């Protein structure tokens, strides 16, 4: 094709694409009159355009990531660096690739880490690094990886260390295989190794799950002493060279994962052993809660979270409530932003962890605590109902047992609940309650539902409670003629609950969200098609549905829509970053999209940096937000709570059924 010919073809193609679909063929016929070849060419291109779908939409970098990885393996495998022969690639970290290699002189296997040259260009810096790496290694501690050699061969800098046949803690967390007993064991070993290093004046600075390995015999090993220092030095040197200040974000990018750095590291202040204590606290929280305490959509957001936020509590579980209460205290102390209030040494923290470890071990001899030490933490989360938005879903089979958990959770973490507990009991049914009692009931039940969603504890003000109450009363008002009764509406839900539970659990979204979202969307009525798509249990615009793999014609198929809805919510959680820890905001994003939620929060942040990051803050400030929020979205989340409060308290509302959430059975989780 000549450029001139293409210019003509493209002109017509673009014009046709700008036209509404029905008028396109007419346009082509007119413009191409007398030029059959041009007509054919443009028609085929239009067809190609319509048929192209996802063609080229996902970048090759993403599609073919494996090629880059494998290519690198092929390049180095079998090659020689100094007296080491590369056997295979083991993995990669923030600081370069790690290979399994054979030391030909000593006839042993080693792990060989190859350092990118831009970190090691300075001889003096390398020397300091070697000193520190060797010093840690010289401690000869069972929990510290032994460094054999820090060397250089033909411009390649490498570190040869003992080879650990095992997995990193990152891998173990990813598989959700760690039991509480194992977790405490690893943390104890980690603190042991660190306190030996600290005693010798060495701070690790980059404690994170990727830097700790567990050998097959259970021994935990801390890797990479000195590396973080090297990175910090090279980053600050780079910045001196170019007269810029190195941002912490940049450092985080270099280190790989920023979520574990301490506030003082984030500020660029001097660090000491208490920085390592902080990172151990982050790690312990992550294993227990199944999510990181500090996260954000970007590194900068994560840093804000580290500097300013208190992590959401780890939820109590009934079987291990005593252990968890203590662990929660340990984590809180390790994550004290003020270094003076933190554990002053790894040894101090170890003493407290060891105590819980003993209790758990002793407890596991008694059947009541049997679950605690041997059940994988992840399973225990489900079994015992310690839920979190990013963690696992709510365990509904054990709802009766859970009463204990919730009581304990409320006493431990919800100060307001203490006051409520001493008040006079409420009447059994909602109908018998007066206005003040209804508000109190709604307040208590809001806390209950929020805890099932993994929400941080907040006390709603009267206005917010009244918003929920208004919706509740709309539900319980006598039905209009021919309209279904409340009992009929709620009886529609149970057949769908196993499916919803399965799909939401698979995406680690609290099941309660999946159960009551359809209540606000369609009250579980049979699905019907309308011009905007379809109105069923879960609803999407047709384009969104298509994006989530549901064709227009299948939008009434709940077997397709339920997984798509869970997928959609999981994506919004990812987009919301740190705010994804508030399920109320995630719910709102189902109604408004994540961007709009983020925009609204951003606007509030400008007026009040200390606002509570949840829906209710937006609700309280709805006058400042746009019209569509005030009129529609402001009542979306209250409607969810109203639906859930009724469904979880069937007796109080005269419903002839158990709580909906109790209808998820073990096998369905």
User: Within positions 589 to 628, which residues make up the interface with other proteins, using CB under 8 A?
Assistant: none
Catalytic one among 103, 185, 206, 210? Answer: 206
Comparing C-alpha atoms, which of 335, 252, 350, 346 is closest to residue 289? 335
Can residue 176 be called a binding residue for other proteins (CB under 8 A)? no
Q: Which range in 66-74, 139-147, 312-320, 582-590 contacts other proteins by CB under 8 A? A: 66-74
Least distance in angstroms from the C-beta of 374 to other proteins: 24
Q: Where are the alpha helices (DSSP H) in 577-633?
A: 583-592, 594-607, 615-620, 627-631
Overall size of the chain counted in residues:
669
User: 321: buried, middle or exposed (CB in 10 Å: 19+, 13-18, 0-12)?
Assistant: buried
Can residue 498 be called a binding residue for other proteins (CB under 8 A)? no
Smaller CB distance to other proteins: residue 45 or 426? Answer: 45
Distance CA 49, CA 32 (A): 18
Distance CA 122, CA 113 (A): 18
CB atoms within 10 A of CB 530: 9
Q: For residue 600, what are its two tokens?
A: 């609204």
Smaller CB distance to other proteins: residue 143 or 299? Answer: 299
Distance CA 653, CA 645 (A): 10
Can residue 544 be called a binding residue for other proteins (CB under 8 A)? no
Can residue 61 be called a binding residue for other proteins (CB under 8 A)? yes
Can residue 21 be called a binding residue for other proteins (CB under 8 A)? no
Can residue 37 be called a binding residue for other proteins (CB under 8 A)? no
Can residue 49 be called a binding residue for other proteins (CB under 8 A)? yes
User: Within positions 252 to 281, which residues make up the interface with other proteins, using CB under 8 A?
Assistant: 253-254
Residue from the set 121, 428, 470, 485 that interacts with other proteins by CB under 8 A: 121
User: 383: buried, middle or exposed (CB in 10 Å: 19+, 13-18, 0-12)?
Assistant: buried
Distance of CA 665 to the CA centre of its chain: 25
Residue from the set 33, 65, 269, 307 that interacts with other proteins by CB under 8 A: 65
Comparing C-alpha atoms, which of 362, 356, 318 is closest to residue 334? 356
User: Within positions 516 to 535, which residues make up the interface with other proteins, using CB under 8 A?
Assistant: none
What letter would DSSP give residue 106? T
Distance CA 40, CA 620 (A): 60
Smaller CB distance to other proteins: residue 56 or 477? Answer: 56
Distance CA 628, CA 15 (A): 35
Q: Report how many residues bind other proteins under the rule CB under 8 A.
A: 63
Residue from the set 107, 118, 435, 623 that interacts with other proteins by CB under 8 A: 118
Residue from the set 20, 36, 66, 667 that interacts with other proteins by CB under 8 A: 66
Can residue 79 be called a binding residue for other proteins (CB under 8 A)? no
Smaller CB distance to other proteins: residue 64 or 462? Answer: 64
Q: For residue 425, what are its two tokens?
A: 């009991």
Distance CA 311, CA 556 (A): 40
Distance CA 550, CA 557 (A): 9
Q: Where are the alpha helices (DSSP H) in 53-168?
A: 60-63, 65-76, 123-138
Distance CA 282, CA 335 (A): 7
Least distance in angstroms from the C-beta of 173 to other proteins: 9
Residue from the set 27, 38, 45, 439 that interacts with other proteins by CB under 8 A: 45
Q: Which range in 32-40, 245-253, 612-620, 647-655 contacts other proteins by CB under 8 A? A: 245-253
Residue from the set 34, 51, 425, 481 that interacts with other proteins by CB under 8 A: 51
Contact criterion met (CB below 8 Å) for 506 and 566: yes
Question: In the annotation, is 165 catalytic?
Answer: no
Q: Which distant-in-sequence residues (6+ apart) come within 8 Å of 388 by Cβ?
A: 289, 290, 291, 312, 314, 315, 381, 454, 581
Residue from the set 26, 35, 37, 71 that interacts with other proteins by CB under 8 A: 71
Q: Which range in 23-31, 150-158, 360-368, 457-465 contacts other proteins by CB under 8 A? A: 150-158
Contact criterion met (CB below 8 Å) for 320 and 369: yes
Q: Which distant-in-sequence residues (6+ apart) come within 8 Å of 394 by Cβ?
A: 385, 387, 452, 510, 511, 512, 661, 664
Residue from the set 70, 200, 269, 551 that interacts with other proteins by CB under 8 A: 70
Distance CA 486, CA 482 (A): 13
Contact criterion met (CB below 8 Å) for 598 and 576: yes
Least distance in angstroms from the C-beta of 118 to other proteins: 5
Least distance in angstroms from the C-beta of 191 to other proteins: 25
Residue from the set 108, 127, 215, 244 that interacts with other proteins by CB under 8 A: 244
Least distance in angstroms from the C-beta of 188 to other proteins: 25
Q: For residue 90, what are its two tokens?
A: 């083991």
Least distance in angstroms from the C-beta of 665 to other proteins: 26
Smaller CB distance to other proteins: residue 55 or 217? Answer: 55
The span from the first CA to the last CA of the chain, in angstroms, equals 59
Least distance in angstroms from the C-beta of 596 to other proteins: 18
Helix (H, G, I), strand (E, B), or coil: what is residue 454?
Answer: coil
* Per-residue contact flags (x/-) with other proteins for residues 383 to 422, judged by CB under 8 A: -------x--------------------------------
Residue from the set 21, 138, 174, 473 that interacts with other proteins by CB under 8 A: 174
Can residue 571 be called a binding residue for other proteins (CB under 8 A)? yes
Least distance in angstroms from the C-beta of 400 to other proteins: 32
Can residue 155 be called a binding residue for other proteins (CB under 8 A)? yes
Least distance in angstroms from the C-beta of 40 to other proteins: 12
List beta partners, residue 109. Answer: 102
Q: Which residues are catalytic?
A: 206
Which residues form the interface with other proteins (CB under 8 A)?
1-3, 5-6, 10, 13-14, 17, 44-49, 51-52, 55-56, 59-74, 92, 116-118, 121, 154-157, 174, 238-239, 241-242, 244, 246-247, 249-250, 253-254, 298, 390, 508, 570-571, 574-575
């Amino acid at each position: 094709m000549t450029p001139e010919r293409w210019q003509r073809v493209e002109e017509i193609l673009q014009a046709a694409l700008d036209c509404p679909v029905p008028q396109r063929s007419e346009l082509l016929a007119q413009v191409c009159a007398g030029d059959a070849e041009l007509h054919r060419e443009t028609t085929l291109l239009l067809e190609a355009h319509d048929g192209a779908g996802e063609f080229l939409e996902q970048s090759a970098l993403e599609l073919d990531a494996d090629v880059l990885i494998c290519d690198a393996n092929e390049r180095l495998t079998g090659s020689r660096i100094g007296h080491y022969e590369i056997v295979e690639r083991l993995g990669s970290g923030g600081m370069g690739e790690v290979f399994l290699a054979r030391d030909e002189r000593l006839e042993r296997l080693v792990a060989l880490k190859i350092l990118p040259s831009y970190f090691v260009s300075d001889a003096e810096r390398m020397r300091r690094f070697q000193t520190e790496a060797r010093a840690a290694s010289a401690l000869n501690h069972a929990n510290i990886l032994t460094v054999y050699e820090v060397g250089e061969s033909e411009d390649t800098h490498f570190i040869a260390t003992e080879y650990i046949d095992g997995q990193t803690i990152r891998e173990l967390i990813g598989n959700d295989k760690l039991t509480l007993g194992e977790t405490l064991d690893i943390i104890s070993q980690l603190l042991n190794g660190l306190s030996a290093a600290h005693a010798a004046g060495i701070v690790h600075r980059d404690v994170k799950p990727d830097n700790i390995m567990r050998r097959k015999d259970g021994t935990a090993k801390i890797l990479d002493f000195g590396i973080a220092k090297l990175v910090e030095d090279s980053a600050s040197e780079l910045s001196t060279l170019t007269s810029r200040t190195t941002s912490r974000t940049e450092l985080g990018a270099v280190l790989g994962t920023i979520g574990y750095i301490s506030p003082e590291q984030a500020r660029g202040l001097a660090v000491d052993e208490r920085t390592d204590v902080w990172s151990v606290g982050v790690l312990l929280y992550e294993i227990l809660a199944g999510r990181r305490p500090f996260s954000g959509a970007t590194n900068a957001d994560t840093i804000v979270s580290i500097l300013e936020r208190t992590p959401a509590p780890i939820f109590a579980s009934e079987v291990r409530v005593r252990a968890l209460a203590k662990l929660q205290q340990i984590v809180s102390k390790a994550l004290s932003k003020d270094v003076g209030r933190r554990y002053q040494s790894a040894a101090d923290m170890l003493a407290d962890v060891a105590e819980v470890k003993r209790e758990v071990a002793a407890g596991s001899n008694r059947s009541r605590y049997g679950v605690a030490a041997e059940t994988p933490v992840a399973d225990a989360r489900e079994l015992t109902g310690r839920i979190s938005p990013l963690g696992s879903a709510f365990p509904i089979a054990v709802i009766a047992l859970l009463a204990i958990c919730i009581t304990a959770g409320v006493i431990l973490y919800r100060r307001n609940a203490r006051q409520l507990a001493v008040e006079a009991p409420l009447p059994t049914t909602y109908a018998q309650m007066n206005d003040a009692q209804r508000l109190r009931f709604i307040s208590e039940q809001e806390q209950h539902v929020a805890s099932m969603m993994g929400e941080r504890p907040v006390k709603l003000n009267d206005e917010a409670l009244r918003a929920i109450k208004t919706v509740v009363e709309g539900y319980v008002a006598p039905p209009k003629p021919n309209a279904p009764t409340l009992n009929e509406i709620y009886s529609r839900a149970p057949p769908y609950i196993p499916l919803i539970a399965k799909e939401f659990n698979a995406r680690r979204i609290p099941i309660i969200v999946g159960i009551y979202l359809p209540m606000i969307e369609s009250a579980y009525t049979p699905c019907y098609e309308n011009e905007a798509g379809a109105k069923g249990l879960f609803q999407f615009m047709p384009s969104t549905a298509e994006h989530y793999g549901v064709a227009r014609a299948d939008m009434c198929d709940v077997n397709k829509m339920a997984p798509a809805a869970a997928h959609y919510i999981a994506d919004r959680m990812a987009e919301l970053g740190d705010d994804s820890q508030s399920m109320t905001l995630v719910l709102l994003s189902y109604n408004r999209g994540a961007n709009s939620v983020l925009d609204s929060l951003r606007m509030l942040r400008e007026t009040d940096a200390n606002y509570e990051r949840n829906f209710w803050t937006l609700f309280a400030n709805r006058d400042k937000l746009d019209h569509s929020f005030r009129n529609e979205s402001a009542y979306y989340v209250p409607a969810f709570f109203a639906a859930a409060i009724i469904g979880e308290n069937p007796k109080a509302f005269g419903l002839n059924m158990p709580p909906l959430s109790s209808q998820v059975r073990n096998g369905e989780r």
